[in-house]
């Protein structure tokens, strides 16, 4: 009976229908009740206040335990690290989490520049240089170097004790050169104490404005594994505005996830820049993905079984929208994965829309399918349904492709696939819609530099002026510009909209353009105007308010090359977009 119940549990572990979310619930953080301060120059015999900091995290936990003696329930505290260089890890043992009658939830925050060097730290491969067990907490403003385990780690399942945290925010954290994962969120679904039982997913994890590079397997002999940022058995997760590059594992990985958003990140030269391994309700949107030197995929969807029990595994309801993917082996790869013939892999509801995929390495494809076949059909344990490829720009040199095909699949037609309104530089093979697709040989077949405009031969180039039916749930392109209604361009950039708004009215002028350090806008209506300066990766790098004739001061450290100036009047809903070049 126990085995039967587990079979049913795993079969329905992911919901029957989980649409790719526009938003997800964010972590809920509770007010801090007590703060302890740390400093490399501190002493663990000190009181731990701002004037008398402790030296180690162990000393800080001891102070928090003493402070909370006699209290009950969940307590929310923080350890603040003064600027400096630390060589001891931030690890919370079980005995300093589950105290008598109470739980100690500890946030960790650095002030200014805080370096955690784990080169000689005595931590195990499963631990992290920062390893916390609590919920409703935040880790912020840290740089982690040379961890012999993971960089940041949450959760615990050992010796019959389990901590499965929820409501966790990680922001402004840099991780470099780890032996294990860079940032690991969540714990395995299978319980260590009982392989026939599952943990419920950890909920509400958010990673934003983090950088992870040269991590996973740093200075290690083992083969590739692990991830720079990993959501492991997580429901409601968000990775946003992160820079993930040059890692020896996946860039951002979802392993058995539900309702996850991966948005506005820059990823390059990771082994699979984004990898979805079992998931439902996943949105991958507005990311800038490229490779400078590695032959690796842009986005990989696959299934690797986490249990040997007879069950179904899912990649379902996945939205891949408005991404720029340059110079990869396969821009988007859908892989059968690894599981037994007694298990099924179900791929359904995969929506690939308004992406720009240009330049290939390694004789693969812009979009590729990989699975076993039997008598002209997918193997009986592989199921495809509801696959949509719509409104994308796909281009590569024929010599860089497998048999010169931009879309590859073991079967033609690919089961479950509906393709429409895509723009290709050459006939793609399976998936070409003779009625709505177009082939434009003048499309560039390589991106010389990882820039959203470097591969555009001109904003008014007719190759990009390709009207396709508007998508009601995609209102913006990669740069945040509104799309034309009722028709829009293919790809992640709304070229027609940019081109048509260069001079929305003759009275508006900018000077000088190209610009060096400052520009002047004239001809605006009376009243204040909001302005935003948008970089080529789609991020807002500067914003503010200005009056007519005022100088808009540009920050040379964050702007280079092509960018956009967006102007919006407080008393007018109209948007003016001015493409600019900085010398």
Q: Quick: pLDDT tens for 256-314.
A: 999 999 999 999 999 899 999 999 999 999 999 999 999 999 999 999 999 888 899 99
Q: Is the pLDDT of residue 244 over 70?
A: yes
Return all residues near 93 (Cβ < 8 A) that are at least 6 apart: none
CA distance 151 to 207: 13
**Per-residue confidence band for 372, with pLDDT thresholds at 50, 70 and 90:** very high
Residue 275 CA, chain-centre distance (Å), reads 10
446 has pLDDT over 50: yes
Which pLDDT band, with edges at 50, 70 and 90, does 457 fall under? low
Q: Looking at residue 538, what is its pLDDT? A: 63
In whole angstroms, what is the distance from residue 114 CA to residue 141 CA? 7
Cβ–Cβ contacts within 10 Å for residue 340, how many? 11
Confidence band, pLDDT 50/70/90 cuts, at residue 227: very high
Per-residue pLDDT band for 75 (boundaries 50, 70, 90) equals very high
13 pLDDT band, cuts 50/70/90, is very low
User: pLDDT per residue over 563-578, tens digit each?
Assistant: 777 777 655 556 677 7
Q: At 476, is the pLDDT very low, low, confident or very high (cuts 50, 70, 90)?
A: confident
Looking at residue 127, its pLDDT comes to 93
Place of tokens 């950890």: 202
Task: State the pLDDT at residue 403.
Answer: 84
Is the pLDDT at 223 greater than 70? The verdict is no
pLDDT tens sequence across 80-89: 999 999 999 9
Write down the mean pLDDT value for the chain.
Answer: 86
Taking the alpha carbons of 556, 562, 567, 573 in that order, is the dihedral positive or negative?
Answer: negative
Average pLDDT over residues 514-521: 70
d(Cα 36, Cα 57) in Å, to the nearest integer? 10
Residues 470-484, mean pLDDT to the nearest whole number:
79
Instruction: List strand residue ranges (DSSP E) for 402-442, in order.
Output: 407-408, 417-420, 423-424, 438-439
Which CB contacts under 8 angstroms, 24+ apart, belong to 475-484? 476/322, 477/322, 477/354, 478/286, 478/288, 478/322, 478/323, 478/324, 478/356, 478/452, 478/538, 479/452, 479/534, 479/538, 479/564, 480/534, 480/538, 480/540, 480/566, 481/564, 481/577, 482/575
Question: What's the rounded Cα separation, in Å, for the pair 107 and 154?
Answer: 12
The enclosing H or E element of 6 equals: helix 2-11
Phi and psi at 174, nearest 5°, equal: -110, 130
- Per-residue pLDDT, averaged over 442-462, amounts to 69
Share of the chain above pLDDT 70, in %: 83
Q: Judge whether residue 503 has pLDDT over 50.
A: no
The phi and psi torsions of 497 (rounded to 5 degrees) equal -65, -40
Residue 7's pLDDT band (boundaries 50, 70, 90)? very low
Query: Residue 309 to residues 200, 233, 281, 312: CA-CA distances in angstroms?
Result: 17, 17, 23, 9
Confidence grade of residue 240 (pLDDT, cut at 50, 70, 90)? very high
- The lowest-confidence range among 56-70, 385-399, 426-440, 470-484 is 470-484
């Amino acid at each position: 009976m126990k085995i039967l119940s587990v079979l049913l549990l795993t079969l329905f572990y992911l919901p029957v229908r989980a649409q790719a979310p526009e938003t997800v619930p964010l972590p809920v953080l509770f007010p801090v009740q007590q703060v302890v301060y740390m400093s490399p120059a501190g002493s663990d015999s000190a009181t731990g206040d701002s004037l008398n900091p402790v030296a180690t995290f162990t000393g800080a936990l001891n102070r928090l335990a003493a402070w909370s003696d006699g209290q009950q329930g969940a307590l929310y505290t923080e350890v603040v690290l003064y600027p400096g260089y630390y060589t001891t890890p931030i690890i919370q043992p079980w005995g300093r989490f589950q105290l008598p009658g109470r739980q100690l939830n500890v946030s960790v925050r650095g002030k200014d520049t805080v370096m955690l060097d784990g080169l000689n730290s005595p931590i195990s491969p499963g631990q992290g240089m920062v390893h916390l067990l609590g919920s409703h907490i935040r880790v912020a403003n840290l740089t982690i170097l040379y961890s012999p385990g993971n960089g940041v780690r949450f959760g615990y399942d050992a010796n019959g004790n389990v901590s499965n945290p929820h409501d966790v925010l990680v922001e402004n954290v840099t991780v470099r050169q780890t032996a294990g994962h860079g940032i690991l969120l969540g714990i395995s679904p299978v319980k260590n104490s009982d392989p026939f039982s599952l943990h419920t997913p950890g909920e509400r994890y958010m990673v934003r404005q983090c950088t992870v590079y040269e991590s996973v397997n740093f200075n290690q002999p083992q083969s590739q594994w692990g991830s720079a940022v990993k959501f492991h058995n997580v429901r409601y997760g968000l990775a946003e505005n992160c820079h993930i590059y040059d890692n020896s594992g996946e860039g951002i990985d979802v392993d058995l996830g539900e309702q996850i958003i991966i948005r506005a990140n820059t990823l390059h030269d990771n082994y699979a820049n984004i990898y979805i391994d079992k998931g439902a309700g996943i949105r991958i949107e507005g990311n800038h993905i490229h490779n400078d030197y590695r032959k690796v995929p842009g986005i990989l969807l696959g299934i690797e079984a986490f249990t040997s029990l007879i069950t179904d595994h899912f990649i379902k309801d996945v939205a891949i929208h408005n991404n720029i993917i340059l110079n990869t082996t396969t821009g988007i790869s859908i892989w059968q994965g690894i599981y037994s013939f007694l298990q099924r892999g179900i791929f359904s509801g995969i929506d690939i829309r308004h992406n720009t995929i240009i330049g290939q390495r390694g004789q693969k494809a812009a979009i590729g399918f990989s699975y076993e076949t039997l008598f002209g059909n997918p193997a009986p344990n592989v199921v495809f349904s509801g696959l949509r490829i719509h409104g994308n720009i796909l281009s590569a040199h024929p010599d860089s492709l497998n048999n010169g095909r931009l879309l590859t699949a073991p079967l033609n037609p690919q089961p479950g696939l509906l393709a429409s309104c895509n723009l290709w530089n050459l006939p793609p093979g399976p998936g070409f819609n003779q009625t709505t697709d177009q082939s434009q040989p003048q499309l560039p077949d390589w991106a010389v530099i990882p820039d959203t405009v470097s591969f555009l031969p001109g904003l008014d180039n007719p190759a990009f002026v390709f009207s396709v039916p508007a998508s009601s749930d995609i209102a913006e392109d990669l740069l945040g510009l509104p799309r034309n209604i009722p028709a829009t361009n293919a790809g992640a950039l709304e070229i027609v909209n940019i081109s048509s708004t260069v001079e929305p009215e003759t009275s508006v002028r900018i000077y000088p353009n190209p610009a060096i350090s400052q520009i002047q806008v004239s001809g605006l209506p009376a009243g204040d105007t909001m302005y935003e300066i948008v970089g080529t990766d789609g991020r807002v790098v500067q914003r503010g308010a200005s009056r007519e004739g005022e100088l808009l001061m540009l920050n040379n450290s964050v702007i280079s090359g092509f960018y956009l100036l967006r102007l919006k009047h407080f008393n007018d809903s109209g948007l003016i977009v001015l493409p600019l070049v900085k010398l």
